[in-house]
Structure 1
Amino acid sequence: MRTWTAPDLPKLPGIGRPPRLFNTANGRLEHPPIANEQATLYVCGITPYDATHLGHAATYLAFDLMQRAWRDAGIETVYAQNITDIDDPLLERAAATGVDWKHLADDQISLFRSDMHRLGMIPPEHYVAVTERIDEIADAVSKLRELGLAYEVPTDDAEGSDLYFDVRKAEKITEWRLGDVAPYDRALMMQLSAERGGDPRREGKRDPLDPLLWRAAREGEPSWPSSVGEGRPGWHIECSVIAAGALGNAFTVQGGGGDLVFPHHEFTAAHATALSGTPLAHAYCHVGLISYQGHKMSKSRGNLVLISRLLEAGADPSAIRLGIMSHHYRSEWEWFDEDLQTAHRRLSAWREGLVRESADPLDSHDVLAQLRQALANDLDTPVMLATLDAALDRGVDNPGLIADAVYALLGVRLQPVSVSGNSVEDPCPLEA
């Protein structure tokens, strides 16, 4: 799958520090193991409808910053992201709007790519749609069945049976245990399963939490012939196969929004561990959810703030980034329409401060060191923004260095200037 043009990040003097990150699985701040100076990152992608909303942007911005921190520390990054281009919500939206599901997905994927490009996000090296990996996913389900970890549940509306993952047996014969990723009690898991794509009330399952691996073909639904029969994949097994196929097992970080901790990341890890015998990832990092108009931003509620509409209305992409980065990536917060105006004012103040003459300017290398220290502390963007507020209010002795630092570390453009002070072209054009 085609991605988007990567931003050309300036090379800064010196070297940063690898970021210490909060691992949801154990509740600790830690440095995930990095092998051979290469960090590997998998972030769950969109289901392509209602793209791209502010919650999407906040999620992908957090992992964009993570990659910037690694790269500034001299660590190569390999980034993979999927697209869930076949799923019940997509089919439901297509049916409700009278649009072919494939056309809807293609249009939304194109819009998402454009939004990510205009926001200056680092693109993944591996950008994989589920429909591109149907055979591999089906073969993984077949292997789980051979291991005794998949079982059939009869259906009333299909000729074949659906296949489910046996959670209790997996706990007995693999290294994975329920709660390895999501440190929740069972009552909360049951609630979240019902809210987030699971079917705990389905009759015939051995355990209410057992997740779907393969959905047998239904009339009127897209399906594919496979080694486990005609049908389509379940949600979690898709990411298990795509992530491991792109990055191998035990990669550095599995990332996504906070609503993916359970059941999605829990069972993605369960499937991958069962298939390979090793953990899926060393650390699990999650982004806090955003509210708007007094409620959590959601497709079902219809209170989405769409990035494309903000851009069409004249928003500066750097201001959108600043509006999001004024909050720590792990916090839950509410977006107000005035936040974008505040971000534009901050951006204007920084741009003015960059060229303002100062009788007592700060040492730009000291400012860079402070920015790096905050970024390495679990991507602490509020501290970075406060550091720049103070520095650019007083003035700096090397504006070109600060402009490059702000772009390289935060993805915010202050002016088209390099460290040498010579003007250069915009490294992140707004049009693909």
Structure 2
Amino acid sequence: MLHIQTLAWGMNILLRRTLPRKISNCYYERTVLSLSRCNADFSTDATRFLSISRTMTSSTPFCSHRQRTFAMDQLHVRKLSLSAVNSGVSDKLGKMYMKRDILKMKRAAFYKKFSAARFVKAAPDSVKPYLELTRVDKPIGTWLLYLPCAFGISLAAPVGTLPSLYYLGLFGVGAFFMRGAGCIINDLWDKDLDKHVERTRSRPLASGKLKPRNAIALLAAHLSISLGILLSLNNTCIVIGVASMLPVILYPLAKRVTYFPQAALGLTFNVGAIMGYAAVAGQINWSIVMPLYIGCFLWTMYYDTIYAVQDAGDDLKVGIKSTALLFLASKDTEELMRLPIRERLTEMNESMAKLQSSLAVCYGATMMSWMAAFMCAGCAFPAFFVPITHMLKCTKADQNVSHPELCWEKFVESRNTGLMVLAGIIAGVYLSYPVG
């Protein structure tokens, strides 16, 4: 607060030389009082400082040497005490942040010790390529496929009860094998393109660790297990599951012909929201399921666009399209490189701003659609807590995807968001009351 006092002191000296004494003193007191309102801790200090000012200006327009020395001594003492307080606060904050960082490091070490990537790394060399082909070392995709299923299962649970653990477990196993099957189909389509992309050139098919016939055999095994799980559900789920296989197969082709392959992925990836609800309820309540499905579709558009930003440069070279390139590559690369540096940077910044704005709108629409589904289902307030809080912080500045590391962090963060939403749905259904 010393700089506030010094600022007010300087203004007072300046005004005394230009304005009548009473006016300058009044202006000075009002200045210190207005500045002191910025911090309650400064109010006592400001009052003491005003008393010094009144003493200095009560008799003469200019203070004497003794009065000036007394005031400077008071300021010096106040400065020393303030620096001591700030030093103590800084030490406490430093210790607090250090403890927080240590806890983060311990938690990261714990997760790494029992992570799926560590399991794959420790697997025999003959098995490891098959595990890498189905992305067992990166379970984030399985989570994102499973969470819409869990949303539907939880919303279909009777009011005042918890969701069926049987269906949650069954759809969890199904999500694991169907995600593996989707990864195999994607790699079979893209094995030649993956060789030219930095992030994917080490995949088993692109690097030659596995032959296509090995991948097809593994795909048949995954689809057989998935079919067995599907046949254990009711007829509505079977029809929806069979119909969803066509977009699964055609999704890799969409990356070659349209800038919206994320839309094709969203249509396929979130069918589980409909199937999960139908498996528990035995029917489909479209007033609940449709906004839930639309929200999950927009959610997939959001996180998969962030995921595609990581490969935007390589995708542009090999001709793969995505919603990320739709915003980031508004001009041809050669045309962009011919522009002056200043115009080139301006164009790139504008493209990034458009992408961030689109992500913010998509994320906000996701939360609104989910809240509409929860409202139609009659959920209690806990179901709305996460969507409301995420909508409040949903700004363009929050969608920083300027670096690949940030893109991966935002992509993984989507799983955490989904888990929080799921917990809210379970609590909202359990705490809600039956109508009538």
Normalised by the length of structure 2, the TM-score is: 0.23
The structure, 1 or 2, with the larger RCO (C-alpha pairs under 8 Å, 6+ apart) is 1
Q: Name whichever structure is richer in strand by fraction.
A: 1
Normalised by the length of structure 1, the TM-score is: 0.23
